[in-house]
Amino acid sequence: MINERLLEIILDSFWQILLPGLAVTIPLTAVSFFFAMIIAVVTAMVQFAKVPVLRHVARFYIWVARGTPLLVQLFVVFYGLPDLGILVDPIPAAILVFSLNEGAYCAETVRASLEAVPAGQMEAGRCVGMSYLQVMRRVVLPQAMRIAFPSLANSLIAMVKDTSLASNITVTEMMMKTRQIASVNQEFLALYIEVGLIYLLFCTVLTKVQSAVEKRLNYYGRKED
C-alpha cells in the first residue's frame, strides 16, 4: 500500500507541515493561552469576591463564550466585523477569539478552585492583618492555581487542537498547510493522518510537561517520603 511515491510525499510534507506548526500553531496557542489565563483569573476573582455588577458581566461573558461554537465566534470576528467597518487580520482575530473562548472555560476552573481552598485560609490571613487582596495573592490564589493546574493543562492541550479551526479564517497553521498539500497531490488519508500524528506529538510533549510540573507543585502538599 505504501509505495515509494507515497513515502516521499509523507517525508517531504512532514517538514512543510511541522514548520507552520512551530511558527504558527505553537505561538498562537501560547499567546492565546497567556491572555486566556489573565482573563480567567480576573473573571474568576470577580465572581469569587462577589464584586457587584462586574460579577454579572462575568457571568454573561462566560454564558456567551461557552454557549456558542468556537467556529462561529471565529467567523463573527473575521468575516462579520468587517460589515461594521472593523477589519481584523487573521492572526489577531484568532488570538482574540481563542483567548476569549478559552478564558471563559478556564475562568470556571479557577473559580471552582478558589472555592476549593478552605475558607479558613482567608480568615487566618485577615486575622494576621493582611488585606483581602494580599491574602488572595499570597495564600489563596497560589493554592487555587495548584488545584486548578491539571484542569488548566487539560484546557491547554485541547486548545492546541482547537487552533486548527483557524485554518477557516485563512491562518496558515498546520491544518491549512496540510489541506493545501493534499489538494495538490490528492493523498488525503496519508496527509490527514500525518497531521494528526503531529498534533499527537505536540500534545504528548505537553502531557509530559504537565506531569513533571504536577510533581513539582505537589511538594508542599505531601508528607515527607
204 lines the binding site for other proteins (CB under 8 A): no
Q: Distance between CA 215 and CA 81 in Å, rounded? A: 45
Find out whether 152 and 206 touch, Cβ atoms under 8 Å: no
For other proteins, how many residues bind (rule: CB under 8 A)? 23
Nearer to other proteins, 44 or 91 (CB): 44
Question: Which of 131, 160, 144 is closest to 24 using CA atoms?
Answer: 160
127 lines the binding site for other proteins (CB under 8 A): yes
Nearer to other proteins, 93 or 136 (CB): 136
Alpha helices in 21-53 (DSSP H): 26-48
15 lines the binding site for other proteins (CB under 8 A): no
146 lines the binding site for other proteins (CB under 8 A): yes
Q: Is the dihedral of CA 156, 157, 160, 163 positive or negative?
A: negative
179 lines the binding site for other proteins (CB under 8 A): no
120 lines the binding site for other proteins (CB under 8 A): yes
Nearer to other proteins, 131 or 183 (CB): 131
Q: Distance between CA 60 and CA 148 in Å, rounded? A: 22
Q: Distance between CA 110 and CA 45 in Å, rounded? A: 8
* CB of 57 vs other proteins, minimal distance in Å: 24
**Cell numbers given for 37:** 489565563
Q: Give me the residue label for grid cell 509505495.
A: 3
Nearer to other proteins, 2 or 223 (CB): 223
Where along the sequence are the contacts to other proteins (CB under 8 A)?
Answer: 118, 120-121, 123-131, 134, 138-139, 142-143, 146, 220-224
